[in-house]
Structure 1
Amino acid sequence: MILLFFIQRSLILIFKQNNHRKWLSIAYVLAFFLLELMIITNNSLILGIDHSIQNSLGNLVSPVNTRIFSTITSLGSPIMDVIYLVIIMLVLFLNGKKDSSIWIGFILLSGNIISFLVKITVRRQRPLGKIIPASGYSFPSGHVFGTTLVILTLIFLVLPYLKSQATRKTITFLLIVWLIIVAISRVYLHGHFPSDVIGSALLAGAWWECCELLYFRYYKTIANVLKLNTHTNK
């Protein structure tokens, strides 16, 4: 329940449209670095929350649940997230939204670089007793980071084209639920600690907001250089 609370609170802030991107991005960055510092220093509070949630999910382990969560984690893998975003890029590009397509590509490439740099800097070992094989370091979760970027892209760049507000809200809700399920799958399978998936959502939200600031500040210059269409995302 604690895991769901933190993820839901992060998502409410991420998905809420606002005119204070600068301060929101700063808040995300500070929250992320605070969590990162607590992880690096083996803070007892974070360790206690991680172990408590892992023990709770451990009671749910069964062959059926493992197959379900293994399928979910495969669909939310970094490779699949890249495929999803590339498809969205192509669809937008072919429909004349070249600026949005290039912007997504920038977020995808730069975001994965940042996530990788954090991993090799923190060098947090994965939880013991992994149910399925997982290599590399634990913090942050590449699954949750990539899935969050995919969902943000869909909500802000794709769903606005749907005329029905009720449909947009329904799909947004389902996307949030999907992110929560992907996060739970990573903890259930012992691929990550709960704090890893929370940190990933914060990092993705921070980078999205930072990229929005860059987009609105340098859009005209880049558009003139690349001769893009004049469509601007609100």
Structure 2
Amino acid sequence: MIYLVIFFILELMVITNNSFITNFDSSIQTILQGMVSSGFTSIFKTVTFLGSPLMDLIYLLLIAFLFLKNNYKQTALWIIYLLISGNIISFLIKITVHRQRPLNAILPASGYSFPSGHVFGTTLLILTIIFLVLPHLHNKNWRIGISVIAILWLILVAFSRVYLRGHFPSDVLGSALLAGTWWEFSELLYLRYHATIINLFKFHLGNQKE
């Protein structure tokens, strides 16, 4: 609920062109403008490609496949549901808010600006890795190390989108909040209907045996 409330407040401020948000965005963009160089641009173009919605889709489907292969069918289906439903929600918000992208983009991008598809997809990916994949690792140091790397990757992807002027800073902040909200909602939904899902699996498997 905290994520959701903060996200809606931020969305409302974006829609109304609130002065606090516009000043927040412009101040950070001004700072990053002084950092622009060919070296940084090459690095962040690579980062933004590896953190693109298409790549996040591939990563998450690969994780779902590995869970399915290891007989974690419910987890695999939940990841697919999270991915599909989350992207639908993100798209609907984009076309509703209708926010134009920043001017003078270093790497031009199509579509609307709020929220960032890159950061939304990457946040879902990182949450999936931390809460679903890493618990299967027995080595605590590995879990901590991978968690730190995953969070740093999310920060790097978010930074690349603002640096390349594909998004405003408030776009990437809103995306992370939206992804966190959708993750928590999907988790609660799964736990609420867990027994129903189990029964559906048993019914389906029973029919296959017959």
TM-score range, shorter chain: over 0.9
What secondary structure does 1:124 align onto? coil
Q: Hey, what does 1:78 align to over in structure 2?
A: 53
Q: Return the alpha-carbon distance in structure 1 between the equivalents of residues 118 and 201 of structure 2.
A: 32
Give me the TM-score of the superposition, normalised by structure 1: 0.86
For residue 199 of structure 1, what is the amino acid of its counterpart? G
Cα distance, 1:133 vs structure 2 = 1.7
Paired letter, 2:162 = V
Q: Give the structure 1 partner of residue 164 of structure 2.
A: 189
Q: State the SS of the aligned residue for 1:192.
A: coil
Partner of 1:132: 107
2:12 pairs with 37, 54, 70, which one? 37
Task: Supply the RMSD in Å over aligned alpha carbons.
Answer: 1.1
Q: Among all aligned residue pairs of Structure 1 and Structure 2, give the percentage whose two residues are the same amino acid.
A: 61
Map Cα deviations across residues 71-99 of structure 1 (whole Å, 9 max, x no partner). 00000000000000000000000001000
Q: Gaps (5+ residues) in structure 1?
A: 1-25, 230-234
Give deviations 1:41-83, integer Å, cap 9, x for gaps: 1011111110000111111111111100000000000000000
Distance 1:218 1:190 in 2: 42
Where do 1:197-216 residues align within 5 Å? Answer: 197-216=172-191
> Take 1:204 and 1:46, find their aligned partners in 2: how far apart are those partners?
20
Q: Which residue of 2 aligns with 1:98?
A: 73
Q: 1:90 is aligned with what amino acid?
A: F
Structure 2 residue 98 is the aligned partner of structure 1 residue 148: no
User: Which structure 1 residue ranges, 4+ long, deviate > 6 Å from structure 2?
Assistant: none
Taking structure 2 as the reference length, the TM-score comes to: 0.95
Q: Which residue does 2:197 correspond to in 1?
A: 222
Q: State the distance in 2 between where 1:178 and 1:111 align.
A: 20
Question: How far is the alpha carbon of 1:132 from its aligned partner?
Answer: 1.1
1:94, 1:58 → 2: CA distance?
46
With a CA cutoff of 8 Å and minimum separation of 6, indicate the structure with the bigger relative contact order.
1
Structure having the higher Rg = 2
Distance in 2 between the 1:174 and 1:94 partners?
26
Q: CA deviation at 1:222?
A: 1.3
Read off the aligned partner of 2:48 and give its amino acid letter. Answer: T
Helix, strand or coil for the counterpart of 1:138?
coil
Unpaired stretches in structure 2, ≥5 consecutive residues: 206-210
In structure 2, C-alpha distance between the alignment counterparts of 1:48 and 1:159, rounded to whole Å: 39
Which residue identity does 2:164 align to in structure 1?
Answer: L
